[in-house]
């Protein structure tokens, strides 16, 4: 399957590399569409959460993974998206225009702040966005008419195409809604990546000077990437609000910003797959721990549930191992396994050996 002969330029332009590739994704899509029948209500809810966090991860992946500008503050844009959506719906807007407004508001706010923020780079950018996230926490408390202050706001039910969509009353409908948004965004994302804008993002990530020399307006590329990234994250925030049913400032703490970045790192920075892999880990790890904890309690009488924050700690341990042994994240693991399968039995041990690198100063750019 790796010996595919390309005969037209379209083979490189198309989203899917040939029939087999298309078939794989068709099967995945069919499974996702059949999920409400395959899974119970509880796990369908968890799968919905995976979709929402994938969407948020995609948003961050665009600016951090593909444009190379690390943001430690994306929960702020989830907050903007969520509060915009709920505030508008509570004032009588329909869901879809309100969802669109979430994306637009987050995107526009992202565009406005991107100019001063994206003049910074590396570690300075990271801390600036981190500060932004902390500031938004307090703003969410202070802007009471919109955000409901400390108490927050409840999500009203969604009326769409004559249906009432509610996370608990009609979980399948809400699942399909999230799936539809995610698929549309992913397609748009992939389209962008295979055309000039996406390439200019990669160029900015890898070498700003040569991007500039090749005609890329670096400031503009960063602004576009950042505001699109904020818009996607805003969408995720709006969906999250309906998933959680109620949000307040605590829903978008700075810790969420940090976790979101860790999520895409564990998934694999710079790959679309990574956003999805990361979301799966973030959502399912606590589940696995809960199951393991029950099992240990029942069989051996060990109560690991007595240690709060164990899931975060295990997540952190996973990150630690990933950074040391597989910097390309779960995507890297997946890539290696795939290559191994494709080349079987010809895989050589040194195939993915990393070359020795030395740290160079990042004070010059």
The interface with other proteins within residues 130-159 (CB under 8 A) comprises 130-132, 134-135, 138, 141-142
Q: Out of 25, 43, 124, 154, name the contact with other proteins by CB under 8 A.
A: 124
Smallest separation (angstroms) from other proteins to the CB of 359? 5
Q: Out of 26, 123, 288, 343, name the contact with other proteins by CB under 8 A.
A: 123
Distances (CA, A) of 95 to 99, 229, 257: 6, 21, 26
Q: Out of 4, 19, 94, 194, name the contact with other proteins by CB under 8 A.
A: 194
| Rounded-to-integer distance, Cα 61 and Cα 271, Å | 8
Tell which positions 203-222 bind other proteins, by CB under 8 A.
203, 205-207, 209-218
From the centroid of its chain, how far is CA 7?
Answer: 35
Number of residues counted as binding other proteins (CB under 8 A): 81
| Rounded-to-integer distance, Cα 314 and Cα 156, Å | 35
Q: 230 or 243, CB closer to other proteins? A: 230
Q: 38 or 123, CB closer to other proteins? A: 123
Smallest separation (angstroms) from other proteins to the CB of 72? 9
Residues 56-95, one symbol each (x = binds other proteins by CB under 8 A, - = not), give: --------------x-------------------------
Ordered DSSP codes for 28-77: HHHHHHHHHHHS-HHHHHHHHHHHHHHHHHHHHIIIIIIS----S-THHH
Tell which positions 307-346 bind other proteins, by CB under 8 A.
307-310, 312-313, 315-317, 319-320, 323-324, 327
Q: Does 100 bind other proteins (CB under 8 A)?
A: no
| Rounded-to-integer distance, Cα 230 and Cα 355, Å | 35
Neighbours of 108 (CB within 10 A): 15
| Binding window for other proteins (CB under 8 A); candidates: 80-88, 281-289, 294-302, 354-362 | 354-362
User: Cα(first)–Cα(last) distance of the chain, in Å?
Assistant: 42
Smallest separation (angstroms) from other proteins to the CB of 144? 10
Q: Does 303 bind other proteins (CB under 8 A)?
A: no
364, two tokens: 């010059």
Smallest separation (angstroms) from other proteins to the CB of 170? 31
Please give the helix or strand (H or E) that residue 160 lies within, else none.
Answer: strand 158-160
Tell which positions 2-41 bind other proteins, by CB under 8 A.
9-10, 12-13
| Rounded-to-integer distance, Cα 205 and Cα 260, Å | 20
| Rounded-to-integer distance, Cα 67 and Cα 151, Å | 37
């Amino acid at each position: 399957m790796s010996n595919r002969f390309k005969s037209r330029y379209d083979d490189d332009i198309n989203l899917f590399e040939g029939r087999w590739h298309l078939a794989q994704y068709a099967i995945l899509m069919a499974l996702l569409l059949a999920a409400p029948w395959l899974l119970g209500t509880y796990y369908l809810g968890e799968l919905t959460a995976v979709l929402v966090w994938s969407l948020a991860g995609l948003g961050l992946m665009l600016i951090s993974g593909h444009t190379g500008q690390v943001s430690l503050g994306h929960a702020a844009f989830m907050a903007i998206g969520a509060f915009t959506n709920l505030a508008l719906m509570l004032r009588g807007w329909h869901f879809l225009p309100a969802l669109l407004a979430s994306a637009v508001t987050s995107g526009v706010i992202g565009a406005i702040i991107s100019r001063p923020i994206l003049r910074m780079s590396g570690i300075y950018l990271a801390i600036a966005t981190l500060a932004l996230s902390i500031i938004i926490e307090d703003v969410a408390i202070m802007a009471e008419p919109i955000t409901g202050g400390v108490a927050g706001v409840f999500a009203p039910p969604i009326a769409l195409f004559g249906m009432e969509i509610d996370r608990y009353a009609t979980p399948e409908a809400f699942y399909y809604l999230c799936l539809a948004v995610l698929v549309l965004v992913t397609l748009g994302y992939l389209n962008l990546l295979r055309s000039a804008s996406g390439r200019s993002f990669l160029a900015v990530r890898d070498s700003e000077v040569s991007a500039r020399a090749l005609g890329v307006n670096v400031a503009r590329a960063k602004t576009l990437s950042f505001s699109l990234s904020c818009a996607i994250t805003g969408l995720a925030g709006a969906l999250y609000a309906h998933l959680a049913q109620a949000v307040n400032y605590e829903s978008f703490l700075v810790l969420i910003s940090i976790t979101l970045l860790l999520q895409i790192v564990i998934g694999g920075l710079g790959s679309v797959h990574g956003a999805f892999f990361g979301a799966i880990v973030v959502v399912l790890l606590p589940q696995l721990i809960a199951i393991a904890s029950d099992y240990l309690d029942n069989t051996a009488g060990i109560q690991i549930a007595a240690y709060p924050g164990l899931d975060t700690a295990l997540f952190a341990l996973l990150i630690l191992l990933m950074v040391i042994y597989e910097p390309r994240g779960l995507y890297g693991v997946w890539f290696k396994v795939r290559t191994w399968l494709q080349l079987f039995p010809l895989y050589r041990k040194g195939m993915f050996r990393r070359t020795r690198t030395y740290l160079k100063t990042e004070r010059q750019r």
